[in-house]
Amino acid sequence: MASSPSLSLLSAPRWKLSRRKLSSAVAAAIPQGKETVKTMPEFDFKAYMLSKAAAVNRALDLAVPLDEPRRIHEAMRYSLLAGGKRVRPILCIAACELAGGPEALAIPPALAVEMIHTMSLIHDDLPCMDDDDLRRGQPTCHRAFGEPLAVLAGDALLSLAFRILSDPKSYPSDLSPPPSRILRSISELARYVGSEGLVAGQVVDIESTGLSESVPIDRLEYIHLHKTAVLLEASVVLGAIIGGGSDPQVERLRRYARCIGLLFQVVDDILDVTKSSQELGKTAGKDLVSDKTTYPKLIGLEKSREFAEELNHEAKQQLEEFDREKAAPLVHLANYIAYRQK
C-alpha cells in the first residue's frame, strides 16, 4: 500500500495546466445528522443549494429549446436536465457573489460549466470509453439515443457552452461584464477542458487502465486533478472573474477550488466502494470490478478519509482572507463535497 498523499502539489502558487430531478438530486446529496458540519449555523445551506439549483435548472431549460433537428436537442436535454447535483454551476455563482457580482451575472458561465460537465459524462459513458449503462439515475445517453447521437449531443453541448459564455447577449443588459472579463473566461475555460486539462486527465486515465501493476499515487493524483478537479476549478475561477474579483482573489479561489476538486474525486472513490448503484444513481463498485486504481485501493479507506479531511481544511484556509459571512456558501460547499452521500 502506498504512503499517504501530501498536499505539496496543491500548495503550488498556481496550477500549471501543462502538466429524477434536480431538487431531489441536490437534496439527496446533502448529508443528514451528525455528518453535517456545524459551521456558521445561521447560514441555511440547504435553502441556498435548492434556490441556486432551481435558478440553474430554469436557465438550462431555456438554453436548450426543442428546436429542429429535434432528436439532437432531445438528446442534449435528456442528459442535461436529468437531475445532476449542479455542484459546478452553484460553485460558479457562489464565487461570483463572493467576488462582488450578482447571481444573474454568473448564470452564463454557470451554464457553460454544467454543459461541459454533462458532455464529459456523455462521452465518458460511451462504449469506446467506460461503456456505462446508467447515469444520473437513467440509461446513459448512448443507450437511450444510440452512439452517433450521443457523440453529437456531447459535441453540441461543448459548442453551446462557449457560445453562451462568449455572447454579450447572454448577460442581463444592465449588468453586462466588460469584454475583457468575458475574453479571459473563455481563455481559461478552453485551457481547462482541452488537451492540457480535462482531455489530458481522460487520456492518462485510459493509458493507466488495465496495467498489471498499480498506478503510482502521483499519477493517480494527476488523473484526478485533470479529470475531475479542472472543471470544479474552472467553475470557481470563471465565477470570480465574471464577478469582478481582483487577481489575488481569483488566485486564492483557484487554490480553494483545486483542493475541493481533488477532494471531490477522493470522495467519489470512497462512495464507489461504500454505496450502492441505487444510492448513487450510477454504477457503483465499478472501480473495483475494473480493477481501477483509486485512493481507497492505494492507501485504504481510513487514510482516504483522512486525506479528504486534510483537503477540506486546506480549502477553507484559502477563504480566510475573505469576509466570513460572504464566504459562508463556499465554506459550506466544501463540507457538502466532503460529506456528500452520492
Q: Does 227 bind ligand GRG (CB under 6 A)?
A: yes
Grid cell at residue 199: 482531455
Tell me how far apart the terminal alpha carbons of the chain are, to the nearest angstrom: 26
The distance of closest approach from Cβ of residue 169 to ligand GRG in the complex, given in angstroms and rounded to an integer, is 25
Q: Which is nearer to ligand GRG, 84 or 177 (CB)?
A: 84
The distance of closest approach from Cβ of residue 271 to ligand GRG in the complex, given in angstroms and rounded to an integer, is 9
Q: Does 199 bind ligand GRG (CB under 6 A)?
A: yes
Q: What number of residues does the chain have?
A: 342
Contacts of 159 (CB under 8 A, 6+ apart): none
Dihedral of alpha carbons 8, 192, 296, 337, sign: positive
Q: Which of 202, 235, 293, 294 binds ligand GRG (CB under 6 A)?
A: 202
80 to 139, contacts with ligand GRG by CB under 6 A?
A: 84-85, 87, 117, 120-121, 123-124, 129, 136
CA distances from 177 to 74, 182, 248 (A): 32, 7, 19
Q: Which residue is nearest to ligand GRG (CB)?
A: 84
Rounded distance between C-alpha atoms, residue 92 and residue 73, angstroms? 25
Q: Does 196 bind ligand GRG (CB under 6 A)?
A: no
The distance of closest approach from Cβ of residue 101 to ligand GRG in the complex, given in angstroms and rounded to an integer, is 23
Q: Does 316 bind ligand GRG (CB under 6 A)?
A: no
253 to 312, contacts with ligand GRG by CB under 6 A?
A: 265, 268
Taking each helix axis as running N to C, give the angle between helix 147-166 and helix 103-125, from 0 to 180 degrees, rounded to the nearest 10: 160
Q: Which of 170, 228, 249, 312 binds ligand GRG (CB under 6 A)?
A: 228
The distance of closest approach from Cβ of residue 117 to ligand GRG in the complex, given in angstroms and rounded to an integer, is 6
DSSP 19: -
Rounded distance between C-alpha atoms, residue 18 and residue 210, angstroms? 25
The distance of closest approach from Cβ of residue 204 to ligand GRG in the complex, given in angstroms and rounded to an integer, is 11
Taking each helix axis as running N to C, give the angle between helix 247-274 and helix 301-317, from 0 to 180 degrees, rounded to the nearest 10: 160
The distance of closest approach from Cβ of residue 176 to ligand GRG in the complex, given in angstroms and rounded to an integer, is 27
Q: Does 79 bind ligand GRG (CB under 6 A)?
A: no
Q: Which is nearer to ligand GRG, 191 or 305 (CB)?
A: 191
Rounded distance between C-alpha atoms, residue 308 and residue 270, angstroms? 10
Q: Does 200 bind ligand GRG (CB under 6 A)?
A: no
Rounded distance between C-alpha atoms, residue 206 and residue 256, angstroms? 28
Number of separate helices (H) and strands (E) present in the chain = 17, 2
| Contacts to ligand GRG by CB under 6 A | 84-85, 87, 117, 120-121, 123-124, 129, 136, 158, 193, 198-199, 202, 227-228, 265, 268
